Amino acid sequence: RLAHVAARRKRRGGVPWGDTGHFGWPGRSDAMPTYDLAGVHVEFPYEAYDCQLEYMRAVIRALDHGDNALLESPTGTGKTLCLLCAALAWRRKRQQEVTEARTSWEKQAEPGAPALAAGVPRIWYSSRTHSQLKQVIQELKKTSYRPWSVVLGSREHFCIHTSVSRHSGARQNARCKRARDENHCPPYMNLRKGQGNRVNTSLMDIEEIVAACRGQNICPFYKCREDAKEADLLLLPYDYLINPQTRESLQVGLQNSILVFDEGHNIERSCEEVASFDLRAVDIGGAITELDDAFDILEQGLCACEEALGDVTAEQLMTQINMLKRNILALEDSIHAERLQRDPTAERTMMRSQGSHILNIFGRGSTKGEGITAKDAKRISTVVRKVIAALTFSLDSTASGGLHLDKLQSLLAVIFKPEPAELDKNYQVLIYEDASDESKRGTKRKAVDFFGDMTAARGKDEKPKTLALWCFSCSVTMQQLEKLGVHSIIITSGTLSPLDGTVESFGVPFPVILQNSHVIDTRKQLWGGILPTGPEGFVLDASFAQRNEPAYIRDLGQVVQKLSACVPDGLLLAFNSYSQKESVLKAWRQSGLYDQIARHKPVFDEPRGNMEMQAMLEGYNRALEKGPQLGGPIGGAVLAAVCRGKLCEGIDFTDRQCRMVILVGIPYPSRRDLRVIMKQSFLDHRGAEGEGRAWYCREAIRAVNQTLGRVIRHSRDYGAVLLCDARYAKDGRLAPVARGLSAWMLPRIGVFSTFEAALEGCRFFFGTTDSVGAGAPVPEKPVAQTGGGHSALDSTSSVGAPGAGRATKAEAASAGPRAARKSTPQARGTPLSTLGALWKARQGNTPPMSTSAAQPSSLCSPQQREQQEQQMQSQHKQRQPPEQQQPLGQVIKGSMDASTASSLAAGATSTNVAAPTVGRQAPPVGISASEFLHSAAAGVASVTAPLPGAAAPVAVAAVCAAQSAGRTGKRARPPPAQPPPPPPISAAAAQWLKRAEGLVPRMELDRVREQISRMEEKADEVVASGSDTAAVSLDAALLCVAESLLPEFCFDTPPEERERDARVRDFAGLLPKLLRPLWRTKVDTLLRERGSSRSIW
């Protein structure tokens, strides 16, 4: 029994150990697996994979030595959980050491005592968005660690004041201050009265914190700020850490802290953007308008200075406003005084210079006023705060709320903080003409009049100018964090590759670097390759010069059309940009290719807006629920998306939501983007020639890895990737740009010499691996290559497709016999060679050969097939008398009638899969059709099993029909599909099945019906005789029904979830009263093993 449980845990990728508490986390830490990693005892809620242990070792190694770490681990390997467990376990050990050192003179004399004297480091866990931090909190709840944690955010996320919460930005901050100063914020007043201890923010995400504080009428924003001063684990978006102003506003020091940047593949760009700014003409005009508005409010006495302005009088502030206005006018004159020239590289009229030139522009001044220098920054910051307070004092004030002045204040901090030498090293100054209409707008009449006067002096046709100071090195931010005395910086992501050049760009050392492996068996669960040409032989090249060629667009459409006919479930079609996606889809609509694709799968287009996105995703998920139809399409849907977009980076596609990713082109950054041009020029000028190009390629391949990573999301997932562009390949091998693919995926990526080879390999993969994870036959080398195709790591081997070399004997033998799952008795996707092996085992009492090692007939030459058939004929003629022999074709056809008719009724068609073609009919063999019928139900069905959301099964009769067609040259007649009568069940069970039809797929419903029939038979036997054999069969049947009713990955709406729970409860009524508690125990055990807190009863 224990061995059976352990095997099931291993198949499921591990399940939580120990009892679970009310919140769904294990209640006893001593029941969890504990691993000794470098002297640190790490409690992990699952049986850890080797790659997870290696990841945790790397974390502990970095923390032990106070080093920085750069850790790449593929999506689905549980890196967030590993990072939390390793860091918190190390912190627990350090806490014990610090406590011992404070009470022991001997410990204080040891060499490591100075490090212990610094105390226990706090952990700052950051990610890109609050939705990702919510997932971190959920992972933390699975562990045995209970640190004091708190989530930090802005007022926009936390404010519950009925009036203040309607605003945002500087206006919201000013209104919040006024409400607090006037004691008009009850939540804040309750917090100040000491009632904040009524809310515990630990182990809560931001939504739970707001709900809890709202219930107690406590201000969530200031409650979290207070808790942050003492918390052990702080969770926040990483912009809060890398932005100096936001970081300082937290009023929490980073000294001796551990900084974690999860999803850190965008950290380089984020660090550069935080240290950069753009000052447009509309910003200058808006700032002057806000100063004028504030001056009018003060002049008319509409603002009570003692409430909004503090110790500053209205007259004093009005004087400072006039001075600041003259400073801004002088800044605009200084910008227009710069001479602009036509830049041939950027194809724009512009001026660019070293970073320190920004100090000259701001400090130059003009006849209208003095320039702005470093000594003026503090004065201007004070005036801006007072002006914003005046603007937001009354509800009828201007709508801008000091937005432009706040921006001016922020950019002054960027300019005057670095030294001039640092500005020259990491920054560039640009002034360029802005032809956009937005820059010509004025927010009020005063700003328009002001620009009108300036235009008259300079010329009416002069275009607005934008002043930019751009940082091109993330080392600026990273070095600032290092100077704050942090303990370690850990950057982790699933797609940090390629790491060449990434470490140098950070500007701080990273002694610990890890490129982790995957938890999946890539030989069995991943298929992929590079497709240089389309079905008509046209080179697939999505470069700017070729992507609008009609022949290219037509061939690309045929690739998508043919693959959508054989790939089950969801297909993600990723383009380089929105413009490319829209132009290609438009051309397909005009040519009719779009309709041809839609016949197999409906096409959903990624919108640009957030509102349309949600509606589109709901339609996409509804389309995925429609399975294959008899004589119709294979089912699923196509999702056309954009690299670096929300779908390719921000959405988690699991299981059937993405079975294949087709990547169109190479997503290089836009060559017309001025920032991209300047970055390349900056890197080439600062370093060696070619650094700019290396960065350009690195950004592209990182976007490729991020997009391709959508296909595998957990240990039992499987899928395919196809890169449709000839630039990924060179001379039949991987091009240099393709060698930057993620290390776990790279061995499975080869080069296809023809589209037919790729299509055959794809059909073979999905035709035989639709039950991966449940014992399905899978090819050892799924990558199909022909001719000059080569693997990325073995340039001499080619595998998998007709005309190519096949898997080695060692690889075939390594697969071993497949594990049979008794709870999923349905044969799907069994090739002819597998049926032949089972038939031989039935006749000769020999074990069936491994289906992983068996080669389908389509991969054998005619001579090899003839030799195999002759060998089979001679062996079986010796065992059986001639009068009992029967053709293999009839045997297989009989098995199809018994075991695959229900699959055909559920939508499997022979047109959606590749049927192996054989040249000769199988010899007579000695087995009756009725005997093999029993073999198909008891043997073949136990070998293969469906995975939720798997591909459409291969009909064995269709394979035989394809055999006949290949032999005679005529079109095969479709075999008569006469489904056998359904197994007998009671009237109550039939009524229950009818109510469950909308919740369970049709193929799964047939499986449930079979298990109910077996359950009713065995239940009576158990009650009558107490047979152990019947009890085991009953237990397996109940488990099968429970897994079908409660799939591990479900996309139910709330009403559907309630309906599903009702069906689960009603199912107990089909059992005798004595056995009904057994059903509830089985369901509870299944949910507990999955770590689910779902409540059904």
Locus of tokens 């095969």: 972
Strands, sheet with 427-433, edge to edge from the N-terminal-most edge strand? 277-279, 465-471, 427-433, 348-354, 341-343
pLDDT at 111: 64
Map residue 58 onto helix, strand or coil: helix
Residue 74: both structure tokens together = 């593929």
Give 57's Cβ-side CA count (13 Å radius).
Answer: 14
Per-run averaged pLDDT (10 residues), the chain, 1097 residues = 40 37 38 90 93 95 94 89 96 89 70 69 92 92 94 92 83 83 90 90 92 93 92 92 87 91 89 91 92 86 65 85 93 92 85 92 90 90 85 59 84 88 92 63 39 42 85 91 93 85 86 91 92 93 89 94 92 93 94 92 88 87 82 85 86 86 94 89 80 90 91 89 95 90 90 93 74 34 34 33 33 34 34 35 38 34 47 45 36 36 36 34 35 36 35 35 38 44 80 82 76 84 78 85 78 76 87 84 84 77
Alpha helical stretches, state H, 969-1027: 987-995, 1002-1025
List CB contacts of 1067: < 8 A, sequence separation 6 or more: 992, 1041, 1045, 1079
pLDDT at 93: 93
Residue 79: both structure tokens together = 């890196």
Instruction: Please name every residue paired with 1021 in a beta bridge, in sequence order, or none if there are none.
Output: none
Strands, sheet with 69-72, edge to edge from the N-terminal-most edge strand? 149-151, 233-237, 122-127, 257-261, 488-493, 69-72, 512-515
**Using CA atoms, how far apart are residues 57 and 925, in angstroms rounded to an integer?**
58
Q: Alpha carbon of 685 to those of 162, 505, 528, 540, 593: distances in Å?
A: 54, 15, 39, 34, 47
Give 706's Cβ-side CA count (13 Å radius).
Answer: 26
DSSP structure class, residue 939:
I
pLDDT at 1021: 80
Q: Is 816 exposed, middle or buried (0-12, 13-18, 19+ CB in 10 A)?
A: exposed
Strands, sheet with 719-724, edge to edge from the N-terminal-most edge strand? 603-605, 637-642, 570-575, 660-664, 719-724, 526-530, 750-751
For 1036-1074, the three-class secondary structure string (H helix, E strand, C coil) is: HHHHHHHHHHCCCCCCCCHHHHHHHHHHHHHHHHHCCHH
Residue 1090: both structure tokens together = 């999955």
Map residue 46 onto helix, strand or coil: coil
Locus of tokens 């551990």: 258
Give 636's Cβ-side CA count (13 Å radius).
Answer: 26
Angle between helices 1028-1045 and 1076-1089 (to 10 degrees): 50
Map residue 469 onto helix, strand or coil: strand
**Using CA atoms, how far apart are residues 848 and 841, in angstroms rounded to an integer?**
5
* pTM for the whole structure: 0.67
List CB contacts of 868: < 8 A, sequence separation 6 or more: 860
pLDDT at 981: 65
Residue 778: both structure tokens together = 């899978």
Map residue 277 onto helix, strand or coil: strand
